[in-house]
């Protein structure tokens, strides 16, 4: 692959607030450097179907404040096959795209890694997911906004929980990562967080009832990460009904509303910084790295490291929820 003159950009997997700000930053920084930009619609699917449009500077006007993604997103099973990726490569070459910037979660980065292993294409990934589950970056684009959305929702539920003296299980996203549940619990003063990371043989519900949620309190809010092991909020409420019938448990599943909305200032700034850094990375000859931020500095994280699942919620924050809920 020779010098880069034209890049392709796509968003893939679950949408996250701030993806548009990232698209804007990548596009404008590419133009600043004299490169062309092509927008690929619907993630890897658009690469396979050839849904690729030339971007102009105005293509990304007035989008920094908008949630979702103007490029749309999709989950594309065909890209998981060598034939699908070959078709994507051929379309990419036909569109004169020299390098790719992909924005998405761990699946998107996994797809980029597979593509880069088969074809000589420089790819830079941006962490765009509300789950904050990519290693090598302190935060992912969309996480802060989702956390704020959860905080607003739980503040409202607290009024009802207190008035009716109920136990509320509030289910949030993050089936393998408890960032939203744990930090949401800290931000809302919830009594507990039930998260996958603490699922180490302990019965988190029993511990909660035995220790945290006790005589002095007859209402409580517990943030629960969606999780097949615990059965999520519904599974826990069922157990309360059967095992601890003295409590009146209710369930709220926040679902997709956590993904929407205008990105917070923090997410817009993160997306703008990382978007610009993606172009810098390509200029420096970097390839097959995710751009992240660590201790305030922009860093390049090899795909394999980004996917290593070595990042973990702070155990001191698990302790903090316990201390602050006595
Ligand atoms: P979120 O964290 O919001 O769910 P994600 O990027 O993890 O976002 P996925 O649906 O897991 O979302 O992945 C997005 C797309 O990446 C998939 O639809 C598929 O096209 C591609 N992809 C995922 N895993 C692979 C893989 N093993 N090989 C090739 N492509 C993959």
Tens-digit pLDDT profile for residues 81-117: 999 999 999 999 999 999 999 999 999 999 999 999 9
Q: Sorting pLDDT into bands at 50, 70 and 90, what band is 176? A: confident
Question: Among 78-87, 124-133, 169-178, whose mean pLDDT is lowest?
Answer: 169-178
- pLDDT given at position 237: 94
Q: Which atom of ligand 1 is found nearest the CA of 131?
A: 2
pLDDT (mean) for 1-16: 92
Token representation of residue 232: 């999520």
Mutational pocket test of ligand 1: of 108, 258, 304, the residue with most ligand atoms within 8 Å of the beta carbon: 108
Residues 6+ apart with CB under 8 A from 81: none
Question: How does DSSP classify residue 212?
Answer: I
**Is the CB of 14 inside a 6 Å radius of any atom of ligand 1?**
yes
Q: What is the CATH number of domain 6-142+263-306?
A: 3.40.50.450
Strand order in the sheet with 297-302: 52-54, 36-40, 6-11, 99-104, 123-127, 289-294, 297-302
- pLDDT given at position 216: 54
Residue pair 60/71 in contact (Cβ under 8 Å)? The answer is no
Question: Among 87-96, 210-219, 249-258, 310-319, whose mean pLDDT is lowest?
Answer: 210-219
pLDDT (mean) for 162-191: 92
- pLDDT given at position 118: 97
Residue pair 29/275 in contact (Cβ under 8 Å)? The answer is yes
Centre of ligand 1 to C-alpha 107, Å, is 3
Centre of ligand 1 to C-alpha 44, Å, is 9
Tell whether the torsion through CA atoms of 296, 302, 303 and 304 is positive or negative. negative
Centre of ligand 1 to C-alpha 111, Å, is 6
User: Which residue lies with its CA nearest to atom 10 of ligand 1?
Assistant: 13
Evaluate if residue 153 carries a pLDDT over 80: yes
Evaluate if residue 214 carries a pLDDT over 70: no
Please tell me the chain's helix, strand, coil percentages from 3-state DSSP, rounded to the nearest 5: 45, 20, 35
**Is the CB of 111 inside a 6 Å radius of any atom of ligand 1?**
yes
Residue pair 139/132 in contact (Cβ under 8 Å)? The answer is yes
Residue where the block lists tokens 């009024």: 159
pLDDT (mean) for 201-218: 70
- pLDDT given at position 213: 59
Residues 6+ apart with CB under 8 A from 126: 22, 26, 101, 102, 103, 104, 141, 271, 274, 275, 278, 290, 291
C-alpha Rg value of the chain to the nearest Å = 21
Q: Select the more confidently predicted residue: 175 or 285.
A: 285
Mutational pocket test of ligand 1: of 45, 110, 135, 260, the residue with most ligand atoms within 8 Å of the beta carbon: 110
Centre of ligand 1 to C-alpha 73, Å, is 11
Q: CA 305, 81, 74: angle at the middle one, nearest 5?
A: 75
**Is the CB of 290 inside a 6 Å radius of any atom of ligand 1?**
no
**Is the CB of 105 inside a 6 Å radius of any atom of ligand 1?**
yes
* Domain 144-260, CATH class in plain words: alpha beta
pLDDT (mean) for 1-6: 84
Mutational pocket test of ligand 1: of 48, 78, 107, the residue with most ligand atoms within 8 Å of the beta carbon: 107
User: Which residue lies with its CA nearest to atom 31 of ligand 1?
Assistant: 111
Q: Rounded distance, CA 135 to CA 179, Å?
A: 13
Tell me the per-residue pLDDT of 255-302, one tens digit each, with 9 for 90 and over: 999 999 999 999 999 999 999 999 999 999 999 999 999 999 999 999
Instruction: Map residue 22 onto helix, strand or coil.
Output: helix
Q: Which atom of ligand 1 is found nearest the CA of 74?
A: 18
Domains 6-142+263-306 and 144-260 share a fold: yes
Mean pLDDT (the chain) is 93
Q: Which atom of ligand 1 is found nearest the CA of 106?
A: 7
What's phi and psi for 293, nearest 5 deg? -130, 130
Q: CA 139, 141, 142: angle at the middle one, nearest 5?
A: 105
- pLDDT given at position 101: 98
**Is the CB of 129 inside a 6 Å radius of any atom of ligand 1?**
yes
The domain spans of the chain are 6-142+263-306, 144-260
- pLDDT given at position 218: 66
Q: Select the more confidently predicted residue: 174 or 144.
A: 144
**Is the CB of 175 inside a 6 Å radius of any atom of ligand 1?**
no
Question: How does DSSP classify residue 304?
Answer: H
Residues tagged active-site: 131
- pLDDT given at position 286: 97
**Is the CB of 131 inside a 6 Å radius of any atom of ligand 1?**
yes
**Is the CB of 15 inside a 6 Å radius of any atom of ligand 1?**
no
- pLDDT given at position 241: 92
Instruction: Map residue 287 onto helix, strand or coil.
Output: coil
Evaluate if residue 1 carries a pLDDT over 70: no
Q: Select the more confidently predicted residue: 45 or 310.
A: 45
Residues 6+ apart with CB under 8 A from 109: 102, 125, 127, 134, 290, 303, 306, 307
Question: How does DSSP classify residue 141?
Answer: B
**Is the CB of 125 inside a 6 Å radius of any atom of ligand 1?**
no
Class of residue 301 by CB neighbours under 10 A (exposed 0-12, middle 13-18, buried 19+): buried
**Is the CB of 184 inside a 6 Å radius of any atom of ligand 1?**
no
């Amino acid at each position: 692959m020779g010098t880069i003159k034209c890049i392709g950009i796509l968003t893939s997997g679950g949408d996250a607030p701030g993806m548009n700000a990232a698209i804007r930053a990548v596009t404008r920084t590419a133009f600043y450097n004299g490169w062309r930009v092509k927008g690929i619609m619907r993630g890897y699917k658009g690469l396979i179907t050839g849904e690729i449009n030339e971007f102009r500077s105005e293509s990304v006007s007035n989008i920094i404040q908008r949630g979702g993604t103007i490029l749309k997103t999709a989950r594309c099973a065909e890209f998981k096959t060598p034939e699908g990726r070959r078709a994507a490569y051929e379309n990419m070459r036909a569109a004169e795209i020299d390098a790719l910037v992909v924005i998405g979660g761990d699946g998107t980065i996994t797809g980029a890694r597979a593509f880069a292993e088969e074809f000589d294409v420089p790819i830079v990934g941006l962490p765009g997911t509300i789950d904050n589950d990519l290693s090598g970056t302190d935060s992912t684009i969309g996480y802060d906004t989702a956390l704020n959305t959860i905080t607003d929702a739980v503040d409202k539920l607290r009024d009802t929980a207190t008035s009716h003296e109920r136990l509320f299980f509030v289910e949030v996203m993050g089936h393998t990562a408890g960032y939203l549940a744990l930090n949401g619990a800290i931000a809302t003063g919830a009594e507990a967080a039930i998260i996958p990371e603490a699922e180490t043989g302990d019965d988190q519900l029993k511990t909660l009832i035995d220790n945290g949620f006790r005589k002095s309190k007859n209402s409580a809010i517990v943030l629960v990460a969606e999780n097949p092991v615990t059965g999520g909020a519904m599974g826990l409420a069922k157990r309360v009904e059967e095992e601890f019938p003295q409590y009146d448990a209710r369930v709220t599943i926040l679902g997709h509303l956590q993904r929407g909305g205008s990105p917070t200032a923090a997410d817009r700034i993160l997306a703008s910084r990382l978007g610009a850094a993606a172009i810098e990375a390509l200029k420096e000859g970097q390839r097959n790295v995710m751009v992240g931020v660590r201790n305030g500095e922009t860093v390049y994280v090899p795909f394999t490291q980004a996917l290593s699942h070595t990042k973990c919620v702070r155990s001191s924050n698990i302790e903090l929820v316990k201390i602050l809920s006595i």
